[in-house]
């Protein structure tokens, strides 16, 4: 019989890539969405899989809705990708971010414990949990957490709750500590897509500049499609565990801008970038760089898309999309 997977946050960036992978492996995929009355299928449509998903309504802020979803589906695997995932908003929306990203995970774990204790659970943890924490300039599973945003703090709670349900009740709960991963369906509030969309608009005369914050911040950027594979692999192990997933290399926001403008064939990128204090954060995470040795060794996972290929892929997709707006 086909395996079943429930994905929360299926309408975001990662949900579609993970769904595509699971569908190709023969899974039946259930996608939890907040409002069936007005869903935005743009990211699933981009990967041409919308009609292959069975949707079910639920909200991470509402425990009874999660109980209902779990009791109805009783999937083999749950991938919890739902979150208020934009770090920049999390200071203004600290309570909502905590309710969804921290308490929501507790509700979901409780629902599994009561209605489907043999389900394997994946929690979308993040390198933001490390914040200022590092081990000789990189982060791995042993690095201490020093989160710098309400988002990071809520994710630390969810991470430890995931570990605790494993240790307390023997549930199969894995926490994937993923570094930044991007794609052509990345939300436009995140810096990479803001840059590639902005560069494409400048190229076709639809915009004159891009307002950005801290150009010196460094991130370990990979491709979302590669990271979906790591999520899947974590739930195929005999034993639940936690894994750092990243490329092991980092680049600054400035480097991303330079490369994006190069691929968009716009000379002199400096003419188009405005430093805008509104996009600087009250507390910045200056530098993240993964050491994903454990994942490489135990999961056999490898990132396939390089930084340059990622920037090129995103610029190309945005150029194609923006061009259609001209007619």
Q: Point out which residues bind ligand NAP (CB under 6 A).
A: 8-9, 11-15, 34, 59-61, 81-85, 100, 124, 126, 178, 180-181, 187
For the chain, helix (H) and strand (E) counts, in that order, are 11, 13
Active site residue 128: yes
CB-CB contact of 246 with 217 (8 Å): no
Instruction: Kindly compute the dihedral angle of the four CA atoms of residues 5, 8, 14, 15, in this order, to the nearest 10 degrees.
Output: 50
Q: Max CA-CA distance within the chain?
A: 59
End-to-end CA distance of the chain: 48
Structure tokens at 197: 């969309």
Residue 192 beta carbon to ligand NAP: minimum distance, rounded to whole angstroms: 9
Active site residue 151: yes
Where is 121: in which H helix or E strand? strand 120-126
**317: partner contacted, choices ligand NAP, ligand G4F, none (Cβ within 5-8 A by kind):** none
Residue of 138, 151, 227, 263 marked active site = 151
Residue with tokens 């040795």: 293
In angstroms, the CA 74 to CA 225 distance is: 26
Residue 235 beta carbon to ligand G4F: minimum distance, rounded to whole angstroms: 20
Collapsing DSSP to helix, strand or coil, 160 comes out as helix
Beta carbons within 10 angstroms of residue 2's beta carbon = 10
Indicate the residue among 181 and 218 with the shorter CB distance to ligand NAP.
181
Residue of 50, 126, 196, 247 marked active site = 126
Residue 253 binds to ligand G4F (criterion: CB under 6 A):
yes
Residue 127 binds to ligand G4F (criterion: CB under 6 A):
yes
Stretch that binds ligand G4F, among 45-53, 111-119, 197-205, 209-217 (CB under 6 A): 209-217
Structure tokens at 199: 């560069």
Structure tokens at 245: 């997933």
Active site residue 182: no
Residue with tokens 């914050």: 213
Stretch that binds ligand G4F, among 14-22, 28-36, 212-220, 232-240 (CB under 6 A): 212-220
**187: partner contacted, choices ligand NAP, ligand G4F, none (Cβ within 5-8 A by kind):** ligand NAP
**100: partner contacted, choices ligand G4F, ligand NAP, none (Cβ within 5-8 A by kind):** ligand NAP
Residue 319 binds to ligand G4F (criterion: CB under 6 A):
no
Structure tokens at 156: 């630390």
Residue 184 sits at φ, ψ, to 5 deg, of -65, -15
Report the relative pairing of strands 273-275 and 77-80 from DSSP bridges: unpaired
Query: Considering only residues 27, 179, 223, 232, which one is a binding residue for ligand G4F as defined by CB under 6 A?
Result: 179
DSSP letter at 299 equals I
Residue of 17, 50, 128, 243 marked active site = 128
Residues 61-100, one symbol each (x = binds ligand G4F by CB under 6 A, - = not), give: ------------------------x-xx------------
Binding site for ligand G4F (CB under 6 A): 85, 87-88, 126-128, 179-180, 189-192, 194, 212-214, 217, 219, 253, 279, 281, 284-285, 288
Which are the catalytic amino acids? 126, 128, 151
């Amino acid at each position: 019989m086909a395996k079943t997977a429930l994905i929360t946050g299926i309408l975001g960036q990662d949900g579609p890539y993970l769904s595509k992978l699971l569908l190709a492996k023969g899974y039946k995929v259930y996608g939890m969405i907040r409002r069936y009355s007005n869903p935005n299928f743009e990211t699933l449509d981009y990967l041409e899989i919308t009609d292959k998903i069975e949707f079910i309504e639920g909200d991470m802020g509402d425990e009874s809705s999660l109980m209902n979803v779990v009791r109805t589906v009783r999937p083999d695997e749950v991938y919890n990708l739902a979150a208020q995932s934009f770090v920049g908003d999390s200071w203004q929306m600290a309570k909502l971010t905590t309710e969804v990203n921290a308490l929501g995970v507790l509700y979901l774990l409780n629902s599994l414990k009561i209605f489907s204790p043999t389900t394997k659970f994946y929690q979308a943890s993040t390198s933001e949990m490390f914040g200022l924490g590092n081990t000789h300039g990189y982060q791995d599973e042993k690095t201490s957490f020093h989160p710098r945003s309400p988002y990071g703090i809520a994710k630390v709670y969810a991470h430890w709750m995931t570990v605790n349900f494993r240790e307390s009740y023997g549930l199969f709960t894995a926490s994937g500590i993923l570094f930044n991963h991007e794609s052509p369906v990345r939300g436009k509030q995140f810096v990479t897509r803001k840059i590639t969309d902005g560069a494409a608009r400048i190229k076709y005369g639809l915009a004159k500049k891009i307002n950005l914050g801290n150009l010196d911040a460094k991130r370990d950027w990979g491709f979302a499609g590669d990271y979906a594979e790591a999520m899947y692999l974590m739930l195929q192990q005999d034993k639940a565990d936690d894994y750092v997933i990243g490329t092991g290399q980092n680049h600054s926001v400035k480097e991303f801008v330079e490369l994006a403008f190069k691929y968009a064939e716009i000379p002199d990128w400096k003419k188009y970038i405005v430093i805008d204090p509104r996009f600087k954060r009250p507390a910045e995470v200056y530098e993240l760089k993964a050491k994903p040795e454990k994942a490489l060794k135990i999961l056999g996972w490898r990132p396939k898309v390089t930084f340059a290929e990622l920037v090129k892929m995103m610029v190309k997709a945005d150029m194609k999309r923006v061009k259609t707006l001209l007619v």
